[in-house]
Structure formats: C-alpha cells, structure tokens
Structure 1
C-alpha cells in the first residue's frame, strides 16, 4: 500500500461550531488486478466533527466499505491509496491515517481512538473464544473493568447470558451485536459502523441506531455506512451520497431528505417505499471502467452533452456540496 504526503482537508460548514475530528482530503483507493484496476474510491474529501453522525449512503459496490477499510489500514496488498485522512485529538498531535504506517495504526489508533463495527461479524470474531472472554479481554487491554461486559451487552441489546457462547453458537444478529459491543468497549472518539444493523429485526435496528446517536450526543463521532436510507434519516446529522467511487452530494440530513440536489440522491429517495417506490433505472458502471464524465449520466433524466465531462464537487452556498452539471433547483422535481 503506497501513500502521499499530507495536506489540509477542507471543513464542511454544515457542522460549523464543532471541532474537526477527522479530515479526509482527496482520498483515492485503487486495487491492481492482473488485467485491470478497480477505482474503488476516487478523490473523496469529507470532514467529520465531534458530536456528528455522518451517514455514507449509496448502492452496493459504490466504495463505502473500502472507505472504512482505507481509514484503518485494512486494505489488501494490491491496494494503492493516495490522499490524506487526518485524525485530530485535543491532547495529541494530529495523525494521518494514510501515511502513519501499520505499526502506529495497530498500537494507537485501530480499536483505540477509532473503533470499527465490521460488515461481516462472523469473520471478525475469534472462533475459539466465547463472547465474554473476547469482551473481557478488550476491556482489560483498555484499562476498563471486566465487569462492564454485562453492561455493554445490555447496551447493544444482547442478553448477557449469550456472552458465554462461542461465535458459532450465535445467530447472525447476536454476532452483530457482539462486534458492536467490542467496538464500543475502548470508548473510541470515532466509531465507523459498517452496516451495523445487518441481521437485526426492526426493534433491534432502532435500538442500535439510537445507541449510535447517543454516542454523538456525548461528543464522540460516528460514520455510519449504510444502504438503509431510513436508518440514515432516523439518526444522521449529515449525509454523504456515494456513487461509483465518488461523493456526489453531501449536506445536512434534514435538507437532503427534504430536497436532494443531485439527481442520484433524488432517485435513491424515490426508491423508498414511503415515496414513489420506484427503483433507480439502469445499473452503475463497473469500477474497472469508469467513464471520463459523470458516471450517473446514463441513468440520469437531466443529462446533457455537458455531462460527458466530470463535474467538480462544488459548494451550493448553504454548506452543502454537489457534483453535478445540472443540480436540482430548490423545490423542483427531477
């Protein structure tokens, strides 16, 4: 994995007044294959602030999970990452998660200052240790009382008695709640939750989302990676819409759900059951063959010849940003 030297990432005015915690600047991730390159994340810039819950939404395969793994140095050896992701702390020097190296990430960042709720809990749990032992060891390493294991289990909606089971004895939903408890055990200032409600029924989905929301209300920050727009609408402060490896829209959640600016954001909302319940037409491009222009243009009802060139991510004047040659005017329909 290779990287470049740090610069300063731009702040997002939508969360003005909160201290920047994570500043991502021009982050790109490519995977080298024998006969192609996968452009998984392209020129991504975001700022996450203390007390903020940022939801990153988009169709499967758009690069959301790769973003999470890039921030924590969990990419495979055929990955090349450029750009910067600077993690701030009031008592220590800022650290660039891209350039600091695996040793620093493992010793001081991953599972400490930044927690991860993985998308696939079954592969993240040690199969020969019970949930209680996994949780107790995590608490001990971080100087916390092992007796907190039961409390953490209750916090995530898991029966404490289920901690005495091995991972293969847990249902998918139980395993999901266990990895959430493990991620919360060190009390990280930033939590990256990658599809944390997978396998949960509706009451537990709401329970988990409310738990994430409460973390932000106490000053921590959460990046919620999800394809569930209802989840984002329930708890997010800001929403970044990702399409074909790029952020195409980023604005306050209430404004986005009321009046999306990018045609793709509008199409995602129209697919919701409580709206038009109309699927987004067509298919996203392959990440090995991204077009030179707007990747959404073949599916977009507002496309023109101008869309053959890549639109820049530009501010709209109210703290929001959008990458579109023909953004949707306020109050207009697509």
Structure 2
C-alpha cells in the first residue's frame, strides 16, 4: 500500500536529517458522544527520524495517548480520524497509517514495524500465559531466537525467573517491564512508549530511559509519551509540548528546556521541583468545549485581545516551531 508523503518541516538542529521515518500532518481525532464531540487531537503535525527520540509531553488529558492509539488504529468505533501519518520503510512503499485500514495495520504494522509499550500493562497481557510463553511466542512469530527471552528480560530490568509467573503474579512495575520487553521483541524500527516508566522506582525509571536512548543510538526511532518532564529532559532529542489537543511548541530538547518560548511550556517547567516548584495556574479547558482562539489564554499572563484567534505555528530562532501570538523570546525569562 502506498501513500502520498505530507510536507514536513526540517528537523530541529541536533537531530538526524534523513527523511522522516514517521511524518504526521494535520492529524485530527474526534470522539462522537450522544450530545457532544470530544476534540482529542487537533491539526497535529510532527515527524520523527531514525535515530531520534521524540518526547511528547503535557498535562493529563491533553491528547498524548490518543495520538499513540490513532497512529496504530486502536481507537474505538466512535472516533473520527483525519489527516495523514505516513510511515516509511527502506524495503517497502510508504504507508499512511490513517487510511491503510485495520487489515494492513494488523498484518504489517502493529507489533512489527511499529511497537507499542501500552500505558496499562494489566489489560495488555494474556492472563493465562506466563511472561516466558508470551515472549517466546512473540519472538517465534517474528523469526527471532526464542532463547532471547531471558536476554530481553535482563535488558528491561526484569529477573528472568519472573518470566515464569502469570500476569496476576507480577507487580505493576514488573508488568510494565514485561510489556516493554514484548514491544522490543520484534525489534521494530519505531517504538511508541506510552508512559513506560509508570510504577517504576527511580533506578528502574533511569534504566528504562537509558534503554530507549540506546534504541535510538542504534538507529531506531522512539516516540516517548510522558508527563515526566525530568524523563524527557534526560533522553529526548526533540520535544513536542501538547496542550488541549494541540502541539504548542516543538523544538530540540536542550533548547526547549533551557529557554521555552510558549508560556505553557515555561509554566510546566516552573512546576518542576528543581525550578520554581510553582503549579500551572488555573485549569485546562474541556475537550468538548475548546475556545476558538488560544486555549491557554485564560491561564496565560501574556494574553491580549489578539489571543482570541488561533495562533499558527511559527519558526523559532535556533529551529523548531511555537504556536503563540506572544512567544517568549529565546533566552528570556518567562
């Protein structure tokens, strides 16, 4: 199946400059409810290249996990998806994940070219199979050595002996590490990790992040979906900040953490314990009643009447984009 490649912005400085492995253009996701529509993802465009770790960050409910599920066709029947998400592969034609259909996603994409570390491991594991059987079945299905199960367990920080347990016998952290191993078993070119450090203590968080970083350093690509800004800062090449269904800032990680240009990104960073430790004021809007203009305006100290209109993404000095009528100058203090 072929797809027309959408236009994509150049990679931010410091990132791989080859053709994107995944190019998302104008992606939108709406959920139809009896009386309202939920605008979960709105006009989202981004790309990730081989060797790149892209972190998608933002408060809970901003649309991060919906993005992951939309890319893999895992949304419920009441979802409407628009836009494009083109996946490239050196040995086959590009495929648009939005339009290719469930049959192609199931046979060619999910768990093969794209791996997923789900946010809720308890619902992703077969309760009547041990971790070892799950891993061996996955390895065999992809033509890989079944004896690699123990090695994968060690890679994710799991004692190989724990593979002989059933899912209900595992702690939340153990189950999280098992689903990470299952996602890595086919050696996918792109890994989408949705809150992969949930339930892990700090040493295991760092172990998991370092594992994802090594995946990129060996040539794969990773999309890390997380609310943990410290995790993103530790390993990300690029960061996309989501707010109320939209990407409001997308830049090289080091530059964004040093000098955010969107007031929301600056407020998120100010909430970190090693910074101002000041919560973001106010509450995000509901996704069933998004404002016509900038959704962050009611919480923003820089708002003006101009913010009643939707700000388009604009280039930032040094690379990347920001969607704000009154961005913070790079190097300035918010």
How far 1:18 sits from its partner (Å)? 3.0
Normalised to the residue count of structure 2, the TM-score between the two structures is 0.97
> What is the aligned partner in structure 2 of residue 116 from structure 1?
116
Tell me if structure 2 keeps the 8 A contact 1:18–1:51.
Answer: no
Q: C-alpha distance in 2, partners of 1:10/1:280?
A: 31
Q: C-alpha distance in 2, partners of 1:149/1:99?
A: 35
Tell me if structure 2 keeps the 8 A contact 1:115–1:192.
Answer: yes
> What is the aligned partner in structure 1 of residue 7 from structure 2?
9
Q: C-alpha distance in 2, partners of 1:239/1:68?
A: 15
Tell me if structure 2 keeps the 8 A contact 1:232–1:239.
Answer: yes
1:172–1:330 distance in 2 versus 1, CA, 3 Å: same
Structure 1 stretches of 4+ moved >6 Å:
none
How far 1:330 sits from its partner (Å)? 2.0
Tell me if structure 2 keeps the 8 A contact 1:261–1:329.
Answer: yes
Q: How many residues align?
A: 330
Matches within 5 A, 1:169-208: 169-208=169-208
Q: C-alpha distance in 1, partners of 2:19/2:313?
A: 23
**Bigger shift: 6-15 or 304-313?**
6-15
Q: C-alpha distance in 1, partners of 2:5/2:317?
A: 24
Tell me if structure 2 keeps the 8 A contact 1:195–1:226.
Answer: yes
Corresponding residue SS for 1:147: helix
How far 1:6 sits from its partner (Å)? 4.8
How far 1:272 sits from its partner (Å)? 0.2
- Structure 1 alignment gaps of length 5 or more: none
Corresponding residue SS for 2:56: strand
How far 1:87 sits from its partner (Å)? 0.2
- Structure 2 alignment gaps of length 5 or more: none
Normalised to the residue count of structure 1, the TM-score between the two structures is 0.97
How far 1:331 sits from its partner (Å)? 2.3
Corresponding residue SS for 1:20: coil
Q: Deviations over 1:289-318 (max 9, x none)?
A: 000000000000000000000000111243
Corresponding residue SS for 2:146: coil
Matches within 5 A, 1:87-236: 87-236=87-236
Corresponding residue SS for 1:26: strand
How far 1:332 sits from its partner (Å)? 1.8
> What is the aligned partner in structure 2 of residue 70 from structure 1?
70
RMSD of aligned Cα (Å): 0.9
